[in-house]
A and B are shown apart, each in its own frame.
Chain A
Amino acid sequence: MSQRFLLSRFIDLLVVLFGVSIIVFLMIRLIPGDAVAIMLGANTEITPDRIAELKSRIGLDQPILIQYGRWIWGAVQGDLGTSIWTGRPVMQEIGANIWPTIELTLLSVLVGAGLSIPLGAFMAEARGKGAEVFVRIGAIAGLTIPSFWLGIVSIFMVAKFLPGVQALGYVPFSEDPLGNLQRMILPVIALSLPMLANLSRLVRSAMLDALSQDYIRTAKAKGANRRRIIYKHALRNALIPFITSVGVSAGYLLGGAIVIEQVFAIPGLGRLVLGAIAERNYPLVQATILVMTTAFVLVNFLVDMLYAVIDPRVSR
């Protein structure tokens, strides 16, 4: 990987993060009407004193450039302000809610990406046969099935046919590893299905593409067996679009996790941000969105780097 490539990607990364921070920062300031009165209006009586007090507490009484400077300086040091209602640092609230979301997202990536390879290979084999149209329709159905609905239906099924099985809520892995994984099964299935559909379609077309290349013909001519051709030669070359897609899917999963957490009563970042919106606790809303987006941007940065390691042509 050339240093120039690394440097230019790193500058891109900083520019995007800077832009993201500006948008998130402006959120509060774009709320129509008096944002502070709206925030207070959710839980307490509005008095001019209270407005002035809250304004100075979240720094809204300063010139906007100074506000941004202070906010971003704090953010870089891990201080994103305090929650309006509890007075606790928002980073503490995020820290308390981040693990279920990380676990849910990671498990879903593993399941979705892991299963998509054999499934995509299988779909590629169905090409030109009568089953092809079903494969295609199945993939689109997987992509368009509302994951939260799938979650709700699965909860219903479990409650009806497997009473006594705990499908809702969350227990930390460190406290009860089995209970933790058991409660993760349904949310992970619901969350990973659209990703599975998307990735397996990609694996299918990448494989079909690779199988028509000359080096596959050479491998066949050499007498390599089918399985070896598919897994060693064809799949390896499908890896790059695959990895990019996994990175992009991470964003879908983070968004989807918000809904799935709501369905399965999992106390993660999704529940945190929705609760914060309902309470109009904007510093917490801002911080959660900033943290989740930064995570997504960093994941894609790493994917880009990985890309260059796998395929040296990229960084040249």
Chain B
Amino acid sequence: MIGFARQNRLFSFAVVFVALQVLLAVFAPALGLQDPYAQIMVQRLKGPSPVNWLGTDQLGRDILSRIIYGYRTSLLTCVTAVILSLLAGGTLGMLAAYYRGWFDRIVMRLMDVLFAFPILLLAIAVIAVLGPSIWGAAIAIAIVYTPIFSRLLRGPALVICESEYVTGAKAIGAGDMRIIFLHLLPNLASVVLVQTSLLLSAAILVEASLSFLGLGAQPPTPSLGLMLSEGRNFLLLAPWPAIFAGFAILFLSFGFNLLGDALRDTLDPRLRKES
């Protein structure tokens, strides 16, 4: 294990970096932070100090605490969205590859249509229908990512379905479900892992953009995107809320992207030899 960590320094760094942020978010209530909702009007827009490590916002709320709770909001929204889209898109892509024929054609056509929209625009359209909220944002991101997952999984699934061991399994009379769960799924695991991490990284940016535009999390929810849009009104007076919130979004998204990138190297031995 230690040898592995030494060999894959980038991967280990990515794991620690992501784990740290996720743990902060998960255990936020146990960290003894200040109440992220508590407004102390006399403490408005104060710079970093021993009491408020990262300063306070326009309502005198502690920025550090709001950022860590913002991680919670962001991760909750994005993880929900990515899981939903993985379930929907992954299932569709896999079944399309397995059954082929008209089912494949119809599903992939449908995915082509969803894919034709610019990502953020489709998310905005979904929210225009559902109304702005974090759940609206989660569903919007899930819908946007469904065609991406279906395309990503269909390709490798097609290759596996053509492989000799699947043909062999069919020959000895294995049922569809047995083949899908026992042969198809385990062999797709590495693709899924890498892409989930990369798409989570992108989802964090989409969620932040939506909240920034007022289409995601609503005040007073602690949200990184929202902090940026509120902070920009006081930019010259107090740049830190916007600056720190931006760093938080960057770190979170960066961590998952690096993790996905490093995972790809680790899981795909062909790439490892090259680089």
Contacts and interface: CB of A to CB of B under 8 A. Distances in A.
Given A156-B235, A156-B236, A297-B116, A149 B228 contact: yes
A115 interface: no
B99 interface: no
Given A146-B253, A254-B121, A27 B258 contact: no
Interface string A251-283: 110111011001100000000011001100010
B254 interface: yes
B257 A258 contact: no
Contacts of B128: 27, 277, 282, 285
Contact of A155 (B109, B114, B235, B246): B235
Nearest to A20: B116
Nearest to B204: A144
B112 A16 contact: yes
Contact of B250 (A22, A146, A152, A256): A146
B97 interface: no
Chain B interface residue bracket vs A: 35 or more
Contact of A152 (B114, B125, B214, B246): B246
A266 B147 CA distance: 31
A144 B116 contact: no
Given A144-B205, A146-B253, A19 B121 contact: no
A146 B208 contact: yes
B228 A255 contact: no
B117 A293 contact: yes
Contacts of A293: 116-118, 121
B116 to A, nearest CB: 5
Contact of B209 (A27, A32, A259): A259
A31 interface: yes
Contact of B129 (A31, A156, A273): A31
A296 B118 contact: yes
A185 interface: no
Contacts of B119: 251-252, 255
A80 B187 CA distance: 48
Given A148-B212, A277-B215, A140 B261 contact: yes
A293 B117 CA distance: 5
Interface string A15-58: 11101101110010011100000000000000000000000000
Interface string B24-50: 000000000000000000000000000
Interface in B200-252: 201, 205, 208-209, 212-215, 228, 231-232, 235-236, 239, 242-243, 245-246, 249-250
Contacts of B117: 20, 23, 251, 289, 293, 296
A256 B242 contact: no
B10 interface: yes
A296 B253 CA distance: 26
Contact of A273 (B124, B130, B201, B245): B124
Contact of A255 (B118, B214, B253, B257): B118
Contact of A258 (B109, B121, B228): B121
Q: Which of B116, B249, B250, B261 has the most CB of A within 10 A?
A: B116
Contact of B213 (A145, A155, A262, A292): A262
Interface string A227-268: 000000000000000000000000110111011001100000
Nearest to A15: B109
A150 B242 CA distance: 10
Nearest to A276: B128
Interface string B124-167: 11011110000000000000000000000000000000000000
Contact of B113 (A16, A256, A292): A16
Nearest to A159: B236
Interface string A136-165: 110011011110111011011001100000
A133 interface: yes
Contacts of A297: 116
Nearest to A296: B118
Given A149-B246, A149-B250, A259-B212, A19 B116 contact: yes
A160 B208 CA distance: 26
B235 A258 contact: no
Nearest to A160: B236
A149 B205 CA distance: 11
Nearest to B215: A277
Nearest to A33: B131
Nearest to A293: B117
Nearest to A18: B113
B5 interface: no
A140 B269 CA distance: 21
Nearest to A31: B129
B249 to A, nearest CB: 5
Given A259-B209, A259-B212, A141 B250 contact: yes
19 contacts: A16-B113, A19-B109, A20-B116, A23-B114, A27-B129, A30-B129, A144-B253, A146-B205, A146-B228, A146-B246, A146-B249, A148-B212, A152-B246, A159-B236, A251-B119, A262-B212, A277-B215, A285-B128, A296-B117
The 7 A-B residue pairs with the shortest CB-CB distance, nearest first, are A255-B120, A19-B113, A149-B246, A251-B118, A144-B253, A255-B118, A254-B118
